[in-house]
Amino acid sequence: MINLAVVGATGAVGQQMLAILEERKFPTKKVKVFASQKSIGENIKFKDKQLEVEAIQPGCWQGLNLVLLSAGAEVSKQICPQIIKAGGTAIDNSSAFRYQNDIPLVIPEINPSEIKPGIIANPNCSTIQLLLAMKPIHDLVGIKQLVVSTYQAVSGSGFKAMQELKDQIEKWQQGKEIAPKVYEKQIAFNVIPKVDKFLANGFSREEMKLVWETHKILGDHKIKVTATAVRVPVFYGHSESVYVETKEKITLAQFKTALAKFPGVQVVDDLSKNQFPTALDSEKTDDILVGRIRPDLFNENSFNMWIVGNNLRKGAALNAVQIAELYREKYL
C-alpha cells in the first residue's frame, strides 16, 4: 500500500488525477492533497474519504512513496527535488524536467521501460495523442516527416480558461464588450494560433514541445517535425490534423491495421458510414481516436489523418496514473 500525494489537486488535471486513481482502484494507504494558497482547507472527496487540502511546508513530503504533480513548471522545479530528497518519486505533468537527458519522459504504451525512481516527466497533451498514433507506424516503416496542426481545447489552460470561454459567450449574447484575460485575444467564436510563449525561432513553446518530445520519446532525433499549435473554442478534446511521410512504403490497409492493433488507439474511420472522430467524442473514451486516414495524392509514402484525444485524461492525468501503476508494479 502506497503513501501518495497529488499537487495541484483542485486544478482541471489534478481533479482528474484523483478521479482516475479512484476509478482504477490504485491501492493507497495515506493520500495527501496540495494546492495553491487559496484552496487550503478545502475538502476533496477521494474514495470514501474527505481529504483536506494542505499547504506545502517543510517536511510535508516525508513518508510519501509517490507524488503526482500538475501545478505548473515553476512549482515543479521547486518541489520535485524536495520530494526526491525525502525518498519519494515524482510524476510531473509540467514541462519543468521533460527535456533533461537524465529524466525519463514516458508514454506507458511506448517507452514503459524508462520508468525508474526519481523524477518521471509526463509529456505534453498534444504529444501523447500524436505519438500513440505514430509509434506503430514508426516501428513498422520509420517516420521521416510530420506536419501537425492542432485544434486545442481551452481545458488545457485550466478552469480559468474554461470560465473565460463561458463568460465571453454570455457577454457576446448580451452584446457586451469582451475583455480577454487568460488568453490575449477573444477565444469565443475565434481561433488563436498561439499556445504557450513564442520563441526566438518563430515557433511557440507548444509547437517546439511536439518536436522535442517526439524526438525524445521515439528516440529518433532525425524525424522532421513541424507544428502549428492553435487554440479553439472547445472545452474538452484536442484534435490534430497530421501529415506524415514514412521512410518506406506502407499500404493504407497496413497503416490502419497497425494503428488499430496498438494499445490505447481506436481507428474510427469509415467514410461510407460517415464515421470520423470529433473533439467531443474524446469525452466518451480514454483511447486516442484516429480517422480520416488517407494516402496523399502526390507523395507515395505520405498519409493524412485526424487524431482526437482527451487532453485532461490520456493527455495528462491518465497518462500520469498509468506511469504510477507501472512504477508501483516495479518498485513498490
Residues at the site binding a second copy, with contacts judged by CB under 8 A: 145, 147, 149, 151, 169, 173, 184-186, 189-194, 198, 201-203, 211, 224-226, 228, 230, 232-235, 237, 239, 241, 243, 271, 274, 276-280, 291-299, 302, 304, 306
Looking at the Cβ atoms of 90 and 192, the one nearer to a second copy is: 192
Which residues pair with residue 289 across a beta bridge? Answer: 266, 308
For the CB of residue 93, give the shortest distance to a second copy in the complex, in Å: 24
Looking at the Cβ atoms of 12 and 60, the one nearer to a second copy is: 12
Residue from 194, 284, 210, 268 nearest 242 by CA: 210
Q: 161 near 244, Cβ under 8 Å?
A: no
Looking at the Cβ atoms of 34 and 255, the one nearer to a second copy is: 255
Looking at the Cβ atoms of 58 and 202, the one nearer to a second copy is: 202
Which residues pair with residue 265 across a beta bridge? Answer: 288
Sheet of 224-228, strands arranged across: 224-228, 143-151, 238-246, 302-309, 288-295, 265-267
Looking at the Cβ atoms of 255 and 327, the one nearer to a second copy is: 255
Of the CA atoms within 13 Å of residue 276, those in its CB half-sphere come to 13
Q: Where do runs of H (alpha helix) occur along the chain?
A: 12-23, 73-85, 125-141, 159-173, 205-218, 252-261, 318-331
Is 238 part of the annotated catalytic residue set? Answer: yes
For the CB of residue 153, give the shortest distance to a second copy in the complex, in Å: 9
Task: Tell me how many degrees the CA angle 129-4-24 measures, rounded to the nearest 5.
Answer: 50
Residue from 106, 57, 108 nearest 86 by CA: 57
List of residues 6+ apart from 145 with CB closer than 8 A = 223, 224, 225, 226, 243, 244, 245
Q: 77 near 98, Cβ under 8 Å?
A: no
For the CB of residue 327, give the shortest distance to a second copy in the complex, in Å: 34
Residue 38 has phi, psi (to 5 degrees) of -70, -20
For the CB of residue 118, give the shortest distance to a second copy in the complex, in Å: 30
For the CB of residue 226, give the shortest distance to a second copy in the complex, in Å: 5
Buried b (16+ CB within 10 A) or exposed e, 134-173: bbbbbebbbbbbbbbbbbbbbbbbbeebbebbeebeeeee
Looking at the Cβ atoms of 23 and 270, the one nearer to a second copy is: 270
Is 125 part of the annotated catalytic residue set? Answer: yes
Which three cell numbers mark 302?
A: 505520405
For the CB of residue 140, give the shortest distance to a second copy in the complex, in Å: 20
Q: Which residues are catalytic?
A: 125, 238
